[in-house]
């Protein structure tokens, strides 16, 4: 396999790029069911913004506290930065979204979920980083909210405010100096401030920078589905931070790719057939769903992961959150509100869309990811595009 690297230094950040840039699974002929939105991304749900901060620095032997560093932060803003604030009644009124969460296997962390479960609301941004940086990103989210006025003080008590942010993680210690604590408050701020609508960068970016999937390079991936007008015309968007799985179970479009591409395994260490790792999945929709219905959506995520070959091993943190951008005026501290609720009988297409978008988001993460050399020269190879096409063609699954 020929690997082409271009590197440059920008403000202390080493960035590597190769020929896989901007290629997605559909570009390679991977067949998927369902209709996507314009960007085939979580940002197809109107108002959502996504930002990344990628930290790639140093090379060679691991020196804890110095590097090499292969990590970052990804932020998802359910209503974007501007739409979070309202000047109604000349008071700051943030606009939480209804949300629900689910843990398939709990060997991981997603903060704030006890209040999501209790209240039914997600009050601010979602951030994803590495396992040992959850604390600093959690603190940074609170500070960022305060600095940007994204607070909802108790009526008559403007100095009273609390925040229980949702911060999730996967472990990037195979490639990153994870015990060097290289993620800073400023990095989290940058991910939040970089958030924008439109296309979403995938692969070796943000929180997904140092992640591994089915023993190929993994990371951030996204996809969306749009329901027919008869089904309501709603959009479902998914974003994953994918860092799980063994090669043998890797399945793409129903094809046993992991059994066909058995080389290009991690070199000089890295995950060697240990069934551990994690995946964080965020599902967004504009369908008018209440919290208990969003939990039902989150519970369908594992079916999409299973289609790619995940099985929630003991060492895996498989944690999912779903939210709805509908019912914008649902939250209020001082009065009752009216909300719209979708019929449970009509939710079937949303379940299917969630499964389809989750599957494609994982594969998009692998297709976008690039070969990475990390600490102690551990090398995790990218999923080779040409060989993937050959395998799909062998099984009559290549979509020209």
pLDDT tens-place values along the chain, 400 residues long: 334 333 333 333 333 434 346 899 999 999 999 999 999 999 999 999 999 999 999 999 999 999 999 999 999 999 997 655 444 444 444 789 999 999 999 999 999 999 999 999 999 999 999 999 999 999 999 999 888 877 766 656 666 778 999 999 999 999 999 999 999 999 999 999 999 999 999 999 999 999 999 999 999 999 999 999 999 999 999 999 999 999 999 999 999 999 999 999 999 876 665 667 899 999 999 999 999 999 999 999 999 999 999 999 999 999 999 999 999 989 887 789 999 999 999 999 999 999 999 999 999 999 999 999 999 999 999 999 999 999 999 999 999 8
CATH annotation of 6-394: 3.60.70.12
Distance CA 261, CA 234 (A): 38
228 is catalytic: no
Can you give the residue ranges of every domain in the chain?
A: 6-394
313 classed as catalytic: no
Of 174, 224, 316, 324, the active-site residue reads 316
- φ, ψ dihedrals at 121, nearest 5°: -120, 150
Q: Choose the catalytic residue: 224, 278, 286, 324.
A: 278
The number of helices, as runs of H, and strands, as runs of E, in the chain is 8, 16
User: Token digits for 220?
Assistant: 């951030």
Which pTM value belongs to this model? 0.92
Q: At 58, list the tokens.
A: 């140093």
User: Does the annotation mark 316 as catalytic?
Assistant: yes
Choice among 177, 187, 286, 318 that is catalytic? 318
Q: Is 307 helix (H, G, I), strand (E, B) or coil?
A: helix
């Amino acid at each position: 396999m020929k690997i082409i690297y271009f590197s440059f230094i920008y403000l202390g950040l080493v960035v590597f790029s190769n020929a896989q840039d901007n290629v997605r699974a559909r570009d390679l002929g991977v067949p998927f069911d369902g209709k996507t939105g314009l960007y085939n991304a979580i940002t197809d749900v109107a108002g959502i913004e996504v930002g990344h901060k990628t930290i790639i620095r140093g090379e060679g032997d691991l020196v804890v506290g110095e590097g090499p560093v292969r990590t970052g932060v990804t932020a998802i803003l359910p209503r974007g930065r501007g739409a979070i604030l309202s000047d109604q009644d000349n008071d700051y009124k943030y606009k939480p979204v209804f949300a629900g969460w689910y843990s398939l296997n709990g060997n991981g962390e997603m903060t704030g979920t006890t209040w999501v479960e209790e209240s039914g609301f997600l009050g601010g941004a979602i951030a994803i980083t590495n396992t040992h940086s959850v604390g600093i990103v959690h603190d940074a989210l609170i500070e960022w909210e305060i600095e940007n006025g994204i607070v909802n003080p108790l009526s008559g008590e403007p100095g009273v405010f609390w925040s229980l942010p949702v911060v999730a993680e996967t472990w990037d210690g195979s490639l990153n100096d994870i015990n060097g604590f290289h993620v800073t408050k400023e990095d989290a701020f940058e991910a939040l401030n970089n958030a924008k609508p439109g296309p979403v960068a995938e692969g070796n970016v943000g929180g997904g920078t140092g992640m591994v999937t089915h023993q190929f390079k993994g990371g951030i991936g996204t996809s969306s589905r749009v329901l027919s007008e008869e089904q309501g015309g709603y959009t479902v968007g998914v974003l994953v931070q994918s860092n799980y799985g063994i090669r043998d179970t890797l399945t793409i479009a129903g094809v046993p790719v992991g059994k066909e591409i058995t080389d290009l395994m991690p070199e000089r260490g890295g995950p060697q057939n240990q069934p551990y790792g994690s995946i964080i999945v965020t599902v967004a929709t504009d369908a008018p769903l209440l919290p208990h219905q969003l939990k039902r959506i989150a519970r369908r995520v594992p079916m999409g992961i299973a289609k790619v070959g995940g099985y929630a091993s003991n060492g895996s943190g498989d944690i999912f959150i779903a939210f709805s951008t509908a019912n914008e005026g649902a939250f209020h501290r001082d009065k009752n509100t009216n909300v719209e609720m979708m019929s449970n009988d009509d939710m079937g297409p949303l379940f299917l869309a969630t499964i389809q978008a989750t599957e494609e988001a994982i594969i998009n993460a692998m297709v976008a990811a690039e070969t990475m050399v990390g600490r102690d020269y551990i090398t995790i190879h990218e999923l080779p595009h040409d060989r993937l096409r050959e395998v799909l063609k062998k099984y009559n699954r290549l979509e020209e």
